[in-house]
Amino acid sequence: MPLYLLFWVCDYIYVPDKKFEFLAYRLFTALVAYQTLLLSRRLKSYIGQQANVAFLMFVAALFISIMAYRAEGMSSPYYAGLNLVSIAALAFFPWSKAFYFINPIIIYAPFYLLAIFVAPADRNWQAMAINSFFVFSTILISILTRLFNEKLRTEEIKSRMALNQEVTNRDKIIEIKSKEAIDLGLLSQQFSPQVVNSIKSGEIKITDGIKRNKICAMFIDIVNSTERVVRIDQEKVNKVITMFLEDTTKYLLKYDITIDKFLGDGIFAFSNAPIKYDDYADRCLKASWEILAAIRERSFEYEKNWHQKLEIRIGISVGYANIGFYGPRKHFHSYTAIGPAVNLSSRLCGAGPVDGVVVDHDLMDALRDKEQFKFEFVGDLKLKGFESDIIKCYQLKDIVTQGDTVGLHECPTCSTIMYLDNDDSGFFVFKCRGCGNVAGQPNRPTIIKAA
């Protein structure tokens, strides 16, 4: 409307004798435009809004046609104002198809009706033909502009929707990944690293059923812990238990043995699930041997707090067990093994000699490199829960092992204990489950004997 009123300057120059008459036409049109604006805020229907704006277009076109007639007849250049109204209406307002067809009629009809019926003396067919050509071109350009704008608008809307969808998807992914990270963080505190890594890789799921698998089960227990706990200060008990769990778990992690549970003063662990190894039985024996060595190395510190020598027993057995996530799904899960091999390892632990590793005959059969381990026959034992069986028991005395299996390797990136594995060439290497770091070691034989 400011542009429309600004054209009064042209009226002042072109038709000075009618400038106030034309100003009245323009002010009346401006008033109608203002009323259109007010009415548009109250109208609720799409048809009502279109009719409201179409009436404004008709009023503007009517007075432009009158001004053309009043200026110098129907060949007056004032008719060009109709083209501006047509462009403003057709190119930008979102008409329905019916109103899009009606609008050119109501815009140009007053001009042609005045030319035909009111001012036949001013009729100039040549000028009318030229004007009609420009009218048609204006309508065509307005339609093309509208279509182009609609296409751009549609693409913009689609792009915006796609962006919103992408943002939504990204937020969902972030939420899912954050939840996974939180879940894995909680799992890493509840489950052994092998279990968490297998869940991460999709090899196993918490919702999986129980599977039967051959494992090597091992129990590690502190001798006479119940009697010592009631006799010494609780703070010292806690320190000893912490040291004991540290000295045991780091070697279990080194040999990639799954830690099932802590039993206060003991540990139950097993190998060959969920990560399978050909030397799964060998790994339990090596871990046990190095655990005994680690406790001996800190014997002074243990005795200072335990008020006597810390003694442990280790029992190891091979056999089939049911393995998986036990417990109600809504509340708690425990990745554990249940079976005769588990029970037998517990009984062997209780019946074995102090600071010794006791195994059954089946474990010796499962060893990959039998020449590497030196055993001593303990005897035929009858154990609780296995009264009908005679269990041939052996004590581990020496290990001939590789030099690279001695000691621990801490990942420089994750600060976690690296586990022992073989590379593609068959050499021993240490790997990190967290970041994938690999540390190679020389492969030379070494004799490790009991102290």
230-248 per-position pLDDT tens digit: 889 989 999 999 999 999 9
State how many domains the chain has: 2
Q: Is residue 445 part of a domain?
A: no
39 and 100 share one domain: yes
Give the span between the Cα atoms of 133 and 268, in whole angstroms. 96
In this structure, the answer to whether residues 148 and 209 fall within a common structural domain is no
**Position 52 in a domain:** yes
Which residue is associated with the tokens 């990959």?
368
Contacts of 368 (CB under 8 A, 6+ apart): 278, 279, 281, 282
Residue 56 lies in a domain: yes
Q: Is residue 40 part of a domain?
A: yes
Of 360, 382, 400, which residue constitutes the final position of a domain?
400
Domain boundary, last residue among 400, 427, 443: 400
Within this chain, do residues 260 and 362 fall inside the same structural domain, yes or no? yes
Domain that holds residue 274: 205-400
Q: Are residue 137 and residue 46 in the same domain, yes or no?
A: yes
Could you tell me if residue 148 is inside a domain? yes
**pLDDT, position 113:** 83
Indicate whether 436 belongs to any domain.
Answer: no
Check whether residue 130 and residue 209 sit in a common domain. Answer: no
Nearest to 433 by CA among 218, 271, 215, 201: 201
- Residues 221, 278, single domain; the answer is yes
Question: Do residue 260 and residue 389 come from a single domain?
Answer: yes
Indicate if 104 and 215 belong to the same structural domain. no
- Which of 127, 160, 193 terminates a domain? The answer is 160
pLDDT value, residue 244: 93
Residue 395 belongs to domain with CATH number:
3.30.70.1230
Looking at residue 174, what is its pLDDT?
Answer: 63
**Tell me, what's the pLDDT at 446?**
40
What is the predicted pLDDT for the residue at 114?
79
Kindly give the pairing relationship between strand 312-326 and strand 356-360: parallel
What integer pLDDT is reported at residue 445 of this predicted model?
Answer: 41
pLDDT in tens, 47-57: 888 899 889 98
Separation of CA 104 from chain center? 55
- Judge if 123 and 262 occupy the same domain: no
What pLDDT is stored for residue 201 in this prediction? Answer: 66
Which of the residues in the chain have pLDDT under 50?
Answer: 182, 185-186, 404, 441-451
In a domain, 431, yes or no: no
- The verdict on 23 and 97 lying in the same domain is yes
Q: Which of 252, 279, 272, 255 is nearest to 212 (CA)?
A: 272
Are the C-beta atoms of 60 and 53 separated by less than 8 Å? no
251 and 126 in a common domain:
no
For the chain, the three-class secondary structure string (H helix, E strand, C coil) is CHHHHHCHHHHHHHCHHHHHHHHHHHHHHHHHHHHHHHHHCCCCCHHHHHHHHHHHHHHHHHHHHHHHHHHHCCCCHHHHHHHHHHHHHHHHCCCCHHHHHHHHHHHHHHHHHHHHHHCHHHCCHHHHHHHHHHHHHHHHHHHHHHHHHHHHHHHHHHHHHHHHHHHHHHHHHHHHHHHHHHHHHHHHHHCCHHHHHHHHHCCCCCCCCCEEEEEEEEEEEECCHHHHHCCCCHHHHHHHHHHHHHHHHHHHHHCCCEEEEECCCEEEEEECCCCCCCCHHHHHHHHHHHHHHHHHHCHHHHHHHHCCCCCEEEEEEEEEEEEEEECCCCCCCEEEEECHHHHHHHHHHHHCCCCEEEEEHHHHHHCCCHHHEEEEEEEEECCCCCCCCCEEEEEEEEEEEEHHHCCCCECCCCCCECEEEECCCCCEEEECCCCCCEEECCCCEEEEECC
Cβ neighbours for 338, distance < 8 A, ≥ 6 positions apart: 321, 322, 323, 326
For the chain, give the number of residues.
Answer: 451
Q: How far apart are CA 337 and CA 194, in angstroms?
A: 14
Pair 128, 237 in one domain: no
**Is residue 170 domain-resident?**
no
CA angle centred on 433, ends 448 and 190, rounded to 5°: 100
What amino acid is encoded at 138 in this protein? T
